[in-house]
Amino acid sequence: RRAWEGFVDTAISSPYAINKSMAVGVLAERDLQFVEARGLAPDSGVIYVEDRMFIGPKAERHARAGNALTRAEWIALPDDLTNAQVLWDTKNQTLLYVMPSQDGRESKLVIAFNRFNKPTDLSKNQAASAFKVTEADIESGIKNGQYERVR
């Protein structure tokens, strides 16, 4: 847990991303089975977050929109993932981990599978984005078929 906190603090305080990543958690066996049943074959169940999630264009866009995760929410992420609502994005073929945020909205972490990382020549399951949405946004996505409940 301290290593994760150190990674978050280093990334947040850095003036730019340096292509570092750290494991934030592991897919639950039932989530992995769900993904495999959809025709994807993740190389592993490990979920990584890159430092670019904290700094860079996407992070800045979420900060300007007022829907970026706070430092405390990033720090709590490994624990929060274990109790998250898990959804399948039928359009993008990604898993969504949805957790309550500290301000009454929902924190949404999008996991893309086997993303290739050029600097390391490795593919891994990476957080593609993380931001806050309303519960109504999530329910609307379920109702219109964009999201399917995993658990």
pLDDT in tens, 28-64: 999 999 999 999 888 889 999 999 999 888 899 999 9
DSSP state of 96: E
Sheet holding 21-26, edge to edge: 21-26, 46-50, 122-133, 106-117, 94-100, 85-89, 147-149
The most distant pair of C-alpha atoms in the chain lies apart, rounded to whole Å, by: 41
pLDDT in tens, 96-131: 999 999 999 999 999 988 664 545 555 678 899 999
SS3 149: strand
pTM for the full model?
0.90
Under 8 Å CB-to-CB from 15, ≥6 apart: which residues? 55
127, 24 contact by CB (below 8 A)? yes
Nearest to 94 by CA among 29, 37, 140, 147: 147
